[in-house]
Every structure is written in C-alpha cells, then in structure tokens.
A and B are shown apart, each in its own frame.
Chain A
C-alpha cells in the first residue's frame, strides 16, 4: 500500500514537472512570436518609410524638371501620336490602297 502511495506521488510529481515544462515551452514560444511580431512591425514600418521616400522622390513636381533638364523630355505633342497601321504606311511597308484579301469562304465586310 505504502509503495503505491510512493509511486502515486512520484507520478504526480512527474506530471507536474511535465506540465511545468510544457507551460515554460509555451511561454518561450509566445516570446518568440512576440519577438517575430515586433520584427515584422519594424520591417513594415521600414517599408512604409521607404514607400513614403519613394513617393516623395518621384512626385511629378520633382521628376518633371529633372526629366526636362537632364533627359530633354517633354510632354507628348499631338503630332507625336500615330495609329499602329499608320506606322507601317509611313515606313512604306504597306501600300495605302492595299486591303487584305478576304480569306477563302469569307465575304468582304459591307
């Protein structure tokens, strides 16, 4: 009987130690998660700062003069636009009068 008591006590003690270690492990994991969350937050803040820097540096007010002065760029004038088919015509690749022959079995568009 006495032996069973001792075995029981040891079992309870063992379980207590096991639970304690599990609790400690969980707390360590919580600490790691908290540290990682802090790291993520810091990284997010750094990303925010970098995005704000990018937006500040690329604002039209700054880029416009730089593009004009250093690259010689200007807003596109209407005469600089053309339709894709006009490029081929200007290059002389397609005669203006040329119209694609309808494929066999198809009727020309009316």
Chain B
C-alpha cells in the first residue's frame, strides 16, 4: 500500500509545486510589468494634479515716457461657507472691523443662510487686508487668488484709460479698445500721452472752477508733426479705480463723445478755405459796419468795430466778426466750404486706433444760409477731438492727420493728407497770432511761447432755439507761432463767472489755454522766444558795446 501511495504523493506534490511556482511567477510578472509601466509611463491613478492653465497677466499701460498708468496686481477674493459658520453676526462684525466697506447687516443675513455653502464676501483684497482677515481667526472663510487692475494716477487720464472689470475685461476707454492686446499680456501698451502735460491740463481745468462754474469741460493737446495726442481730459474727472462711483455727468467723455457747436473758432477754417480756393487774399477788405441779411436771417456782430468799413481777414479773425466771416463764406460758396470742412475731418466720424468718438451733427443741406452760419461756427456740431485735429494743418504746413494714441509713432505709417499749402497755413497762423496780440484772445498770451489762436463763443441750442443765457466757450491755439509744434483746444460747457458777467471765451477758455501753455510748454520741449538784450557794437570800430539793442532769440 505504502509503496503504491508514495509515487502518487510525489506526483501530486510535484504538481502543487509547479502550480505554486506558476502562481508566484505570474504574480511576479504582473508586479514587474506594472512596476515597469509605472516607472516608464507614470501612474494615471496617482498622477499629480496639474495646475490649471494660468491666465496671462493683463499688460500694463504706460505713457510715452514709460510712466505707469495702469497695472495688474495680485489680489484676493474672500468667500465664506455659511453652512460651517456658527455665529454669522460675529463673523460679519469681525470682517467689517478690517474691511470697513462691508455692510454688516447684509453680510450677516447672507452668512445666516445655512443652506448655502458659498457666498462672496469681498473681491480685490490686498495682501495686507488678507493678512488682517487671517489674524481674526474666523471660521468658514476662504481666499481665492486673483488679479486686480490698478490705476496709480487716480483720475489722471481717467476717461482715456477707461477701466477693466473684476474679471479683467476692458469695459471702457483704452482698456476696451485694446482689450485683446492687453489680455494677451506681455509688453506694456505705450500711449502717446505725457503724464506731466496731462496733469498740467487737468490742473488748469480744475483751477478754472475757482473762477467759473461750468457743466463740463474738455481739453486736448496734439503734437502737430505726428498727430500724437499728448493730453486729453474731460471734466468732471473720473477715477478708474472706482468706476462705480462715477456720476452720469462725469461718465461722459466730453473730449471725444460729446459734440458741440463751437462758434467762431471755425473762422480761421473759413478763411483758410477761401485763401486756398483763391477767393481771398490777406489784403482784401470787407465792410462789417452793418448786419448782413442772409435769407430771412440777420447776422450781426456783438460790438461795433473801429475801421469797420475796411476789415481785412486778419481783423475778422482777430476781432471775431461774424459779418466778415459770412462775407468770406459767401465768396467761397457752400460747396467749397463743405469740401474744405470735409477735408479736415469735420463732416464724418473720425476713424482711428483709439477711443470711440462721436459722429458730428452736420447740416442736412448746404444752402446759402447754412453756409453763412457754418462760416462762423453755427449749425455744425463736432467733438472737441475732431475739431482740434482740424487745426493741425495750420501747425504743420498743411497736412491733415489722424489722432494718434499709441506709440511708437512710425513716421512711415502716419497718413498725411494735404489740405492746404504751407503758405496758407503760415498766413492763417499769423492772423491768429494777431488775435492774441491785439484781438479777443489776449488772455491766452503766454509770454515767450507765441500763442496764436481763436476764441469761440456759441449759444447752446435748445428745444426753443438758441439760449442766450447758456453758451459753449472755446479757445483753439497753435504754438509757438513762428515754428508751430502743438495745437491746444479747451472747451467749457455753459461757463458762468462766479463774479462779474464776463462769460465769453475771451475771459474763460482763453485764459485757461494761456496758463496751460505757460506751464506745459517746457514739458513739451518748446523753448521760449524772448527779447534778449544783446550788446551790439554800433559805435566806431574797436569800441564795442557803446549801445545795446534788442534782438529776438529763440532759446
């Protein structure tokens, strides 16, 4: 029995051993195979979490000199889980102690809703505010890192910059127009604005509120050689850091999105059109003694003039004669006047790479009466930005340019359109210089900077016709007259003096422009022209300095 059984045990024992070996071998193979797989390809089940794709940091905005105008900073959003908060009132009061803007009552109500697991408390917290909340040691609070748009200059160029919302999307101004470019991140967007000049312009507009009340104001400075806008402001100012605080009055960008009938600052354009068409010479004279009847309208001047029977175009501009401007307009004719205003961009919405600009309100038909009123700036309403560009040809020898808001100003890319000859431009600038020296623009004088310009006072149109008690006053300037480089325009909406009754442009806008140019010209690298005493030897040879004479020098 035993001898028969032993071979059977051996047989089964050998089979078991093989089975165990196969199992162990298979297990080993699986382990090795899996190890190799994990080592080589990684383990999907235990792979580390990937950081979600980071949103590109929104690009900065800087001025032409690299001064920071808008940047993106890290910030934190604070949220809460009401389901784990024990005492909502205690948490709300604690948070309000370090975040003063919080409404304790509203927050307590929201944190008391135990059915909710997520409520926003406040977004855009600074690292210091986050630390302050941490120190409170309150339950159920969570922070989420995000980005916040900051405008270090406050209201400086606020309307131009616009603002981006909490999600980093441009909503207004440059932030909106260049949103795609800014959202990609990378190099800063460099504007043509000069922070120093912008500040000077805004300061002078603000300072004007000491002397006048006005509903709104706009100011623009343009480099006539390139069309680059060096400053653009709309009063009341807005602070892009707090776009929600804007009033309706402040929200409108009056420099680009409002249109005004600007009055007599059109007269130099009428004169230029007539000279360019060969219908006028500087020596031609006009009798402006009596009002002039055009159709059913009687057009007159505010005050009688000396030598009114022989007014030249220079006198018409310098003393702002409506009657004279109408006569020049009649010589020119409606079609040629319309064509000229069209050539300087006053009849269409401007098209350029920058903030949106309002379309002009132009006459439906160009009959003789319309042409007569347009010749002195009534019956046509344009944005200040459009208008200031119409003066650029005076300052650069006759080329119309589009406004430029982004550097670099590639000279090859600047589109120039010749709208008048250099001689015409020079002649009209010389006429406008007389406005400041002897005419209605004396208050715009800035010693040394040879301001040439034109005043404009236009009654505001209303539902019952023009309102004699409300006007738009403006002053458009070119400086320095002997070698024009810049064009400046200031417009005040319904300016009323705080004392006295002088509310025409001669006393309102002109004085603002004069003060601004005196202050900003050095920032714009415009050197003054002064009467320098120079020792001039006019005595016998070898005896210099016996007399002195004055000599005009460009410094």
Q: Which of A's residues lie within 8 Å of B, judged by CB?
A: 13, 16, 19-20, 23, 34, 44-45, 48-49, 51-52, 54-56, 59-61, 64, 75-79, 81-83, 86, 89, 95-97
Residue of A nearest to B449 (CB): A78
A79 CA / B71 CA spacing, docked (Å): 39
- Chain B residues, Cβ within 8 Å of A52: 68, 71, 73, 150, 152
Known: A55-B67, A61-B199. A96 touches B544 (CB 8 A): yes
Q: Per-residue 0/1 for B532-555: is the Cβ within 8 Å of any A Cβ (1 yes, 0 no)?
A: 101111000000110000000111
Least Cβ distance of B514 to chain A in Å?
A: 12
Interface membership of B309, Cβ < 8 A: no
**21 CB < 8 A contacts A-B:** A16-B32, A16-B36, A16-B39, A23-B39, A44-B57, A45-B74, A49-B74, A52-B73, A52-B150, A54-B68, A61-B154, A64-B199, A64-B203, A75-B522, A78-B447, A79-B528, A81-B522, A83-B553, A83-B555, A89-B535, A97-B535
- Chain A residues, Cβ within 8 Å of B156: 59-61
Residue of A nearest to B529 (CB): A78
A28 CA / B300 CA spacing, docked (Å): 88
Interface membership of B527, Cβ < 8 A: yes
Contact indicator B553/A56 (Cβ below 8 Å):
no
A95 CA / B446 CA spacing, docked (Å): 31
- Chain A residues, Cβ within 8 Å of B532: 82, 86
A83 CA / B534 CA spacing, docked (Å): 13
- Chain A residues, Cβ within 8 Å of B203: 64
The 7 closest A-B pairs by CB, nearest first: A78-B448, A55-B152, A78-B528, A20-B39, A60-B199, A55-B68, A96-B535
Contact indicator B154/A59 (Cβ below 8 Å):
yes
- Chain B residues, Cβ within 8 Å of A60: 156, 195-196, 199
Least Cβ distance of B105 to chain A in Å?
A: 33
Least Cβ distance of A8 to chain B in Å?
A: 13
Least Cβ distance of B485 to chain A in Å?
A: 15
Interface membership of B422, Cβ < 8 A: no
A19 CA / B544 CA spacing, docked (Å): 96
Contact indicator B535/A45 (Cβ below 8 Å):
no
- Chain B residues, Cβ within 8 Å of A89: 534-535
A76 CA / B199 CA spacing, docked (Å): 16
**Given A44-B57, A48-B71, A52-B68, list of 12 further CB < 8 A pairs?**
A16-B36, A45-B73, A48-B74, A56-B153, A59-B152, A64-B199, A75-B519, A78-B446, A78-B448, A82-B532, A96-B535, A96-B545
- Chain B residues, Cβ within 8 Å of A97: 535-537, 544
Residue of B nearest to A15 (CB): B36
A91 CA / B33 CA spacing, docked (Å): 94
- Chain B residues, Cβ within 8 Å of A59: 152-154, 156, 199
A44 CA / B71 CA spacing, docked (Å): 12
A48 CA / B60 CA spacing, docked (Å): 10
A50 CA / B39 CA spacing, docked (Å): 45
Contact indicator A95/B544 (Cβ below 8 Å):
yes
Known: A19-B39, A52-B150. A96 touches B537 (CB 8 A): yes
Main secondary structure of the interface of B (DSSP, over half): mixed
Interface membership of B530, Cβ < 8 A: yes
Residue of A nearest to B155 (CB): A61
Least Cβ distance of B448 to chain A in Å?
A: 3
Least Cβ distance of A98 to chain B in Å?
A: 9
Least Cβ distance of B542 to chain A in Å?
A: 10
Contact indicator A78/B518 (Cβ below 8 Å):
yes
Interface membership of B181, Cβ < 8 A: no
Contact indicator B536/A96 (Cβ below 8 Å):
yes
- Chain A residues, Cβ within 8 Å of B74: 45, 48-49
- Residues B515-530 near A (CB distance < 8 A): 518-519, 522, 527-528, 530
Interface membership of B40, Cβ < 8 A: yes
Interface membership of B35, Cβ < 8 A: yes
- Chain B residues, Cβ within 8 Å of A48: 57, 71-74
Residue of A nearest to B522 (CB): A76
Residue of A nearest to B67 (CB): A55
- Chain A residues, Cβ within 8 Å of B518: 75, 77-78
- Chain B residues, Cβ within 8 Å of A76: 522
- Chain A residues, Cβ within 8 Å of B51: 34
> Contacting B40 at CB < 8 Å: which of A19, A34, A82?
A19
Least Cβ distance of A12 to chain B in Å?
A: 8
Known: A16-B35, A16-B36, A83-B555. A51 touches B527 (CB 8 A): no
A59 CA / B156 CA spacing, docked (Å): 9
Residue of A nearest to B197 (CB): A60
- Residues B10-54 near A (CB distance < 8 A): 32, 35-36, 39-40, 42, 51
Least Cβ distance of B56 to chain A in Å?
A: 12
Known: A61-B199, A95-B544, A96-B536. A81 touches B553 (CB 8 A): no
- Chain B residues, Cβ within 8 Å of A95: 544
- Chain A residues, Cβ within 8 Å of B72: 48
Residue of B nearest to A38 (CB): B51
A83 CA / B544 CA spacing, docked (Å): 22
Known: A60-B195, A61-B199, A97-B537. A78 touches B530 (CB 8 A): yes
A78 CA / B445 CA spacing, docked (Å): 12
Least Cβ distance of A43 to chain B in Å?
A: 12
A97 CA / B542 CA spacing, docked (Å): 10
A23 CA / B39 CA spacing, docked (Å): 7
A108 CA / B323 CA spacing, docked (Å): 54
> Contacting A51 at CB < 8 Å: which of B39, B68, B545?
B68
Least Cβ distance of A87 to chain B in Å?
A: 11
- Chain A residues, Cβ within 8 Å of B534: 89, 96
Residue of B nearest to A96 (CB): B535
